[in-house]
């Protein structure tokens, strides 16, 4: 590899890093020295040809940001709320008139997501988002490359949707609950498609086991319009994000709560009874009865590899009163003598199923654990 190629590689990596951490963005100072991966590249070592190549790339990069109007073509700064973000654009709701404006994004804004409060300026057509206001909460999920992806901001409640079809997994519920507990979001367990519940289904028992831990639970059928009044009671304040596997009916429930909108829902695949990832972008809606919701794309697995074992244990709310009373301060709660948590499981004070679910998460922490099938 020639030095020139090496430099290009370093430069590309640096560009990637700058996209992740825009605060490291500098204007021309990178030409003086770039440190990345322990390498220092100094200006003196750049040939004229190399500088030209880099400049060409910078010009190309600035052109790809599209037809963003210049500052003098833009109106005054105003506050808005991001309803949805697609690629290089976002739908922003003007906080005064409640009009929705398709906006470009000023370069180096960082990730912008549904629920973000922003500053934006109107142009002749659409507008430009110029800043993201500080967030009260950020909900991430790992993408299929093992990177954390921001899904939504300023959320206050997590509605974990389960259904008889596709089959509900207690471990996935627990993973969501761990995240909700860690971010201090209010969880609500929503069993949808109760019209499909067979008499021998163990889902109502599963739901009841979470209710016994103090979690709010609701059972509905979006299709049969059953239990919706009960659900509305829980959603009329704050911003609720609907999460869960593809096909459990997140969009259908939101549609039933928002009769004036047309929200896309999708049938399950016939062979496997799985969803087909109908919702592809998170989107925020306002309820007429108060409160907001965010519909989000379904996932099958929800990796928690970005969390420590202790954080995961803290996310199991009934473990908290035991896990600090173990004989050894650094107890891993796996096999140690005098482990208060193992003792509680043995005595039936902590459910064996939840403890097993916890162990399963701990065992998977090193693996990147996202599947989107
Ligand atoms: N029987 C029955 N089917 C329902 C109910 N709610 C939703 N469905 C069906 O379930 C399928 C999936 O619904 P969606 O609302 O698209 O599911 P989703 O969770 O938004 O899926 P993704 O957007 O892929 O994550 C559709 O065929 C719906 O008609 C219900 O209460 N009962
Ligand atoms: Mg959907
Ligand atoms: Zn222990």
CATH number at residue 279: 3.40.50.300
How many domains are contained in the chain? Answer: 4
Looking at the fold, whether 78 and 111 belong to one and the same domain comes out as: yes
Looking at the fold, whether 82 and 168 belong to one and the same domain comes out as: no
Looking at the fold, whether 171 and 289 belong to one and the same domain comes out as: yes
The answer to whether the CB of 291 is under 6 A from ligand 1 is: no
How much distance in Å is there from the Cα of 148 to the middle of ligand 3?
Answer: 30
- How many whole angstroms separate alpha carbon 123 and alpha carbon 72? 10
Using the atom order of ligand 1, give the atom closest to the CA of residue 265.
16
CA distances from 365 to 149, 168, 312, 370 (A): 17, 21, 10, 12
Looking at the fold, whether 97 and 203 belong to one and the same domain comes out as: no
Last residue of a domain, one of 102, 132, 162: 132
Looking at the fold, whether 259 and 288 belong to one and the same domain comes out as: yes
Residue 137 lies in a domain: no
Residue 355 lies in a domain: yes
Last residue of a domain, one of 257, 273, 295: 295
The answer to whether the CB of 279 is under 6 A from ligand 1 is: yes
Estimate the crossing angle of helix 48-64 against helix 3-20, to 10 degrees.
Answer: 30
Using the atom order of ligand 1, give the atom closest to the CA of residue 221.
31
pTM score > 0.95 for this model? no
> Residue 238: what pLDDT?
97
Neighbours of ion ligand 3 (CB under 5 A): 326, 331, 333, 339, 341
pLDDT tens over the chain, length 373 residues = 444 443 333 333 333 333 333 332 322 222 222 222 222 233 344 556 665 665 555 544 444 445 677 777 888 999 999 999 988 899 999 987 779 999 999 988 999 999 999 999 999 889 999 999 999 999 988 766 667 889 999 999 999 999 999 999 999 999 999 999 999 999 999 999 999 999 999 999 999 999 999 999 999 999 999 999 999 999 999 999 999 999 999 999 999 999 988 888 888 877 677 777 888 889 999 999 999 999 998 876 677 877 888 899 999 999 999 999 999 999 999 889 999 999 999 999 999 999 999 999 998 886 554 444 4
> Residue 64: what pLDDT?
40
Residue 251 lies in a domain: yes
Alpha helices, H only, the chain: 3-20, 48-64, 170-183, 203-212, 228-235, 250-257, 309-314, 320-323, 340-346, 352-364
Last residue of a domain, one of 18, 49, 64: 64
Looking at the fold, whether 280 and 325 belong to one and the same domain comes out as: no
What CATH number is attached to the domain comprising 110? 2.40.50.140
How much distance in Å is there from the Cα of 305 to the middle of ligand 3?
Answer: 21
Greatest extent of the chain over all pairs of C-alpha atoms, in Å: 77
How much distance in Å is there from the Cα of 295 to the middle of ligand 2?
Answer: 7
Looking at the fold, whether 119 and 216 belong to one and the same domain comes out as: no
Looking at the fold, whether 212 and 262 belong to one and the same domain comes out as: yes
> Residue 249: what pLDDT?
96
Looking at the fold, whether 163 and 51 belong to one and the same domain comes out as: no
Looking at the fold, whether 181 and 284 belong to one and the same domain comes out as: yes
The whole domain housing 35 covers 3-64
The answer to whether the CB of 221 is under 6 A from ligand 1 is: yes
> Residue 336: what pLDDT?
93
Cross-strand pairs, 140: 150
Looking at the fold, whether 170 and 246 belong to one and the same domain comes out as: yes
Fill in the DSSP letter of residue 97: T
Residue 21 lies in a domain: yes
């Amino acid at each position: 590899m020639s030095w020139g190629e090496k430099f290009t590689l370093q430069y590309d990596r640096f560009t990637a890093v700058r996209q992740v951490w825009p605060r490291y963005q500098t204007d021309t100072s990178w030409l003086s020295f770039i440190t990345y991966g322990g390498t220092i590249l100094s200006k003196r070592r750049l040939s004229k040809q190399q500088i030209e190549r880099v400049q060409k790339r910078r010009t190309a990069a600035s052109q790809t940001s599209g037809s963003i109007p210049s500052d003098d073509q833009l109106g005054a700064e105003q506050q808005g709320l991001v309803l949805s973000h697609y690629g290089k654009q976002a739908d922003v709701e003007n906080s005064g008139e409640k009009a929705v404006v398709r906006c470009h994004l000023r370069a180096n804004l960082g990730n912008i997501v549904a629920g973000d409060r922003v500053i934006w300026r109107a142009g002749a057509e659409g507008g430009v988002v110029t800043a993201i206001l500080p967030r009260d909460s950020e909900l991430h999920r790992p993408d299929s490359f093992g990177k954390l992806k921001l899904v939504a901001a300023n959320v206050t409640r997590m509605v974990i949707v389960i259904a008889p079809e596709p089959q509900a997994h207690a471990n996935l519920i627990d993973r969501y609950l761990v995240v909700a507990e860690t971010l201090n979001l209010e969880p609500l367990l929503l069993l949808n498609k109760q019209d499909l519940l067979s008499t021998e289904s163990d889902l109502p028992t599963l739901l009841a086991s979470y209710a016994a831990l103090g979690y709010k639970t609701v059972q509905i059928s979006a299709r049969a319009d059953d239990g919706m009044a009960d659900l509305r009671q829980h959603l009329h304040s704050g911003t609720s994000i609907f999460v869960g596997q593809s096909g459990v009916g997140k969009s259908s429930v939101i549609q039933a709560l928002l009769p004036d909108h047309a929200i896309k829902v999708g049938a399950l695949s016939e062979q496997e009874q799985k969803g087909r990832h109908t919702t592809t972008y998170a989107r925020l809606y306002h309820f007429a009865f108060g409160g907001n919701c965010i519909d989000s794309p379904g996932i099958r697995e929800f990796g928690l590899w970005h969390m420590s074992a202790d954080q995961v244990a803290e996310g199991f709310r009934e473990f908290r009163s035991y896990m600090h009373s173990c004989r050894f301060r650094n107890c891993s709660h796996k096999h140690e003598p005098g482990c208060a948590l193992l003792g509680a499981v043995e005595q039936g004070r902590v459910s064996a199923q939840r403890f097993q679910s916890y162990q399963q998460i701990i065992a998977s922490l090193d693996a990147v654990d996202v599947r989107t099938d």
